[in-house]
């Protein structure tokens, strides 16, 4: 999969309460969650961003609670991919499980600016900064994790796995 | 070279002879916990297209996040959960009269050394205090475990933290863990297993060990772990007769890092807004006015914490203008505190005793903050907006610091009153 979008930069330790405040957790509707995405950090973020834009963040993105609402809100708001220096581990898993591609790269984060246009090859882990004309090779995710993301999430993956096992039996 | 606890238990649970840090393994957990988020997980489970959960006996569900229900929406959520557990014949269900999940699971005997416990809650790391491998996962993952009895985990590298020295008066396990998080940072143990060891840990009661492991996730850790000892066995014997096998790191295990702390001259520690690693010694923030003081949550709502609180407040009144909310972590703790006369004393001092549950820790109900207000809390998170209001401030401290501060109406050094 090739993703193209412009960069929105965020600092270190963006926590899940900032991504989607707990006061909105009484809904699981992605569209409703998307409306409040990042609202305590930048109330206009959702309005300002375009569909397909990419979040580029510092260390420990998504720290805090185990709420899956956090990556769901970002994906539903139109974020196509997140590149961070590092991710909090539950957010990392949750993003994969709802089909939101994520990459870790210190270099990309340090060298890109807000508004830069990025192109991400999710299979090869190659990230191009089209504005700065630079290419970065990141560690691609293991194939079974890529499969979870490309199928749309863990539910779809499990459905496929269960079908496959039924056939094997 | 020997193996760490994390490597040994994940080798066992994945059925492989041996695994090393960095490897990804497929495991079958012993216990899967979810709470008020069970209805949302049930919807995800139903979408998979299977009728029955594979192992109902492995599923434990306490209701705790918003109990009793604050609104129709929360009430409907609870109702859906009660219907689901009936349908699925899930017997390990604890309704609103039981307590916070991380207190309830150990109390009811689900947490055993050498077991693998996964929960749809980030503070599932708490059970490492009993020598379990336990960590938080997402909702889709819980649904998928219900369906398949499997999940992938990465074998974490291990950081060993040795805590040495003599605990000074006025210093509690909460101060120790806040100090470590402040030092290592919110990502200081990202993806890592953290083993707490040393004389201070061996001398520490089970409640204190739970406080440390509970907050290990606040420095990014996958698990916290304390090697089980006589104290662990004694605590468990009173609650369960299930068999278990203690798993320990080998003496020559390969640690990524070993960090030593000497806490002999530690001051009471305060995590300041709005990150848990923004930790300062009390001397730097003493005098900060507070509107609300909170004793409770899965971090510090145990009988040990309530005892400390009542010893400090005994015969005294809290400051005018401060609201002191006390949430025993479970009904067992509540009942014990009643027997000991603790709750009666706290009420005389001006505290509001609440029912066991998460309370306002995550801002859902029962003591949310208004703009401009300050809360000093024994909880584990102080993120912006955490307690229901993004223009409020939350400071974190030990129960002793919260109790003494409620008497003076400002953040106070407990050691001043010990002299």
Average pLDDT over residues B313-317: 97
Output phi, psi for B286, to 5 deg.
-55, 140
Q: What is the distance between the alpha carbons of residues B123 and B105, in angstroms, rounded to a whole number?
A: 12
Question: Which of B119, B187, B191 should be substituted to probe chain A, the one whose Cβ sees the most A Cβ atoms within 10 Å?
Answer: B187
Q: Using a CB-CB distance cutoff of 8 angstroms, which residues of chain B are in contact with residue A63?
A: 186-187, 220
Size (chain B), residues: 419
pLDDT digits (tens, 9 = 90+) for B136-175: 999 999 999 999 999 999 999 999 999 999 999 999 999 9
Q: What is the distance between the alpha carbons of residues B204 and B278, in angstroms, rounded to a whole number?
A: 25
Q: What is the distance between the alpha carbons of residues B217 and B225, in angstroms, rounded to a whole number?
A: 12
How many other CB atoms are found less than 10 A from the CB of residue B382?
24
**Percentage of chain B surpassing pLDDT 90?**
96
**Over 70: is that where the pLDDT of A18 sits?**
yes
- B187/A21 CB distance under 8 A: no
Q: Which CATH architecture has domain B269-418?
A: 2-Layer Sandwich (3.30)
On whether any CB of chain B is under 8 Å from the CB of A40, the answer is: yes
Buried b or exposed e, range B177-205, using 16+ CB within 10 angstroms: bbbbbbebbbbbbbbbbbbbbbebbeebe
The candidate with the shortest Cα–Cα distance to A101, out of A115, A117, A119, is A119
pLDDT digits (tens, 9 = 90+) for B235-267: 999 999 999 999 999 999 999 999 999 999 999
Size (chain A), residues: 169
Question: Which of B138, B359, B369, B381 should be substituted to probe chain A, the one whose Cβ sees the most A Cβ atoms within 10 Å?
Answer: B138
- A65/B122 CB distance under 8 A: yes
Tell me what ipTM this predicted complex has. 0.83
**Over 90: is that where the pLDDT of A165 sits?**
no
Cis before B347? omega within 30 = no
Residue A65 banded pLDDT, cuts 50, 70, 90: confident
**Over 70: is that where the pLDDT of A134 sits?**
yes
Cis before B68? omega within 30 = yes
Question: Looking at domain B5-261, does it have CATH number 2.40.30.10?
Answer: no
**Over 80: is that where the pLDDT of B104 sits?**
yes
Count of the separate structural domains present in chain A = 1
CA torsion sign for B101, B106, B108, B110 is positive
pLDDT digits (tens, 9 = 90+) for B372-396: 999 999 999 999 888 989 899 999 9
CATH code at A26? 3.20.19.10
Identify whether the C-beta of residue A49 lies closer than 8 Å to the C-beta of residue A77: yes
pLDDT digits (tens, 9 = 90+) for A141-160: 888 899 999 999 999 999 99
Q: Could you list the residue range(s) of the whole structural domain that residue A34 is in?
A: 2-168
The candidate with the shortest Cα–Cα distance to B321, out of B289, B345, B354, B288, is B289
Q: Using a CB-CB distance cutoff of 8 angstroms, which residues of chain A are in contact with residue B122?
A: 64-66, 90
Give the model's pLDDT for residue B177. 98
Average pLDDT over residues A4-12: 97
- A68/B386 CB distance under 8 A: no
- H or E element: which one contains B64? none
Average pLDDT over residues B19-41: 95
The candidate with the shortest Cα–Cα distance to B364, out of B36, B7, B97, B19, is B36
Question: Which of B36, B140, B191 should be substituted to probe chain A, the one whose Cβ sees the most A Cβ atoms within 10 Å?
Answer: B140
**Over 80: is that where the pLDDT of B89 sits?**
yes
Q: What is the distance between the alpha carbons of residues B184 and B279, in angstroms, rounded to a whole number?
A: 11
HSE-up (13 A, CA, CB side) for residue A9: 13
Comparing CB atoms, the residue among B71, B73, B385 nearest residue A17 is: B385
Q: What is the distance between the alpha carbons of residues A122 and A124, in angstroms, rounded to a whole number?
A: 6
Give the model's pLDDT for residue A149. 93
Q: What is the distance between the alpha carbons of residues A50 and A117, in angstroms, rounded to a whole number?
A: 12
pLDDT digits (tens, 9 = 90+) for B320-373: 999 999 999 999 999 999 999 999 999 999 999 999 999 999 988 999 999 999
Residue B419 banded pLDDT, cuts 50, 70, 90: low
For chain B, where do the domains classified as CATH 3.30.499.10 start and end? 5-261, 269-418
Q: What is the distance between the alpha carbons of residues A84 and A106, in angstroms, rounded to a whole number?
A: 7
Output phi, psi for A149, to 5 deg.
-65, -45
Min distance B234 CA to chain A CA atoms (Å): 32
């Amino acid at each position: 999969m090739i993703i193209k979008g412009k960069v929105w930069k965020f600092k270190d330790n963006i926590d899940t309460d900032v991504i989607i405040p707990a006061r909105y957790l009484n809904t699981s509707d992605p569209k409703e969650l998307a409306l409040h995405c990042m609202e305590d950090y930048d109330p206009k973020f959702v309005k300002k961003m375009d569909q397909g834009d990419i979040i580029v963040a510092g260390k420990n993105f998504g720290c805090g609670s185990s709420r899956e609402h956090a990556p769901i809100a970002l994906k539903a708001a139109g974020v196509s991919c997140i590149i961070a220096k590092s991710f909090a581990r539950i957010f990392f898993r949750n993003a994969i499980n709802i089909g939101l591609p994520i990459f870790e790269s210190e270099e990309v984060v340090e060298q890109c600016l807000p508004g830069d246009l990025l192109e991400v090859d999710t299979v090869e882990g190659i990230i191009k900064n089209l504005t700065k004309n630079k290419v970065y090779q990141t560690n691609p995710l293991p194939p079974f994790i890529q499969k979870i993301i490309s199928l749309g999430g863990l539910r779809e993956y499990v459905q496929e796995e269960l079908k496959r096992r039924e056939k094997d039996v | 070279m020997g193996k760490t606890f994390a490597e040994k238990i994940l080798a066992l649970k994945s059925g492989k002879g041996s695994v090393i840090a960095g490897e990804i393994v497929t495991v079958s957990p012993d216990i899967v916990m979810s709470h008020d988020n069970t209805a949302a997980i049930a919807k995800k489970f139903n979408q998979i297209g299977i009728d029955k959960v594979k192992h109902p006996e492995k599923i434990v569900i306490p209701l705790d996040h918003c109990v009793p229900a604050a609104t129709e929406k929360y009430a409907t959520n609870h109702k859906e959960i009660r219907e689901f557990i009936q349908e699925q014949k899930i017997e390990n269900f604890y309704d609103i009269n039981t307590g916070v999940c991380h207190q309830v699971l150990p109390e009811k005997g689900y947490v055993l050394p050498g077991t693998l416990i996964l929960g749809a809650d980030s503070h599932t790391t708490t059970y490492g205090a009993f020598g379990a491998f336990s960590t938080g996962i997402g909702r889709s993952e819980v649904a998928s475990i219900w369906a398949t009895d499997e999940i992938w985990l990465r074998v974490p590298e291990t950081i060993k933290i040795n805590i040495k020295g003599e605990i000074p008066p006025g210093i509690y396990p909460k101060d120790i863990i806040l100090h470590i998080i402040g030092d290592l940072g919110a990502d200081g143990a990202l993806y890592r297993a953290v083993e707490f060891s040393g004389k201070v840990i061996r001398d520490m009661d089970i409640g204190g060990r739970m406080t440390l492991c509970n907050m290990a996730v606040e420095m990014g850790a996958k698990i916290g772990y304390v090697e089980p000892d006589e104290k662990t066995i004694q605590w468990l014997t009173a609650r369960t007769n299930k068999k278990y096998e203690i798993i320990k790191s080998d003496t020559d295990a390969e640690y990524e890092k070993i960090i030593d702390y000497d806490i002999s001259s530690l001051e009471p520690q305060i995590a300041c807004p709005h990150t848990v690693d923004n930790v300062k010694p009390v001397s730097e923030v003493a005098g900060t006015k507070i509107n609300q003081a909170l004793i409770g949550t899965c971090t510090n709502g145990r009988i040990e914490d309530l005892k400390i609180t009542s010893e400090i407040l005994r015969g005294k009144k809290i400051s005018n203008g401060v609201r002191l909310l006390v949430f025993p972590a479970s009904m067992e703790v509540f009942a014990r505190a009643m027997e000991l006369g603790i709750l009666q004393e706290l009420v005389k001092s001006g505290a509001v005793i609440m029912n066991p549950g998460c309370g306002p820790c995550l801002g859902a109900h029962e003591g949310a903050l208004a703009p401009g207000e300050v809360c000093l809390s024994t909880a584990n998170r102080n993120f912006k907006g955490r307690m229901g209001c993004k223009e409020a401030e939350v400071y974190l401290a030990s129960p002793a610091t919260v109790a003494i501060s409620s008497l003076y109406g400002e953040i106070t050094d407990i050691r001043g009153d010990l002299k």
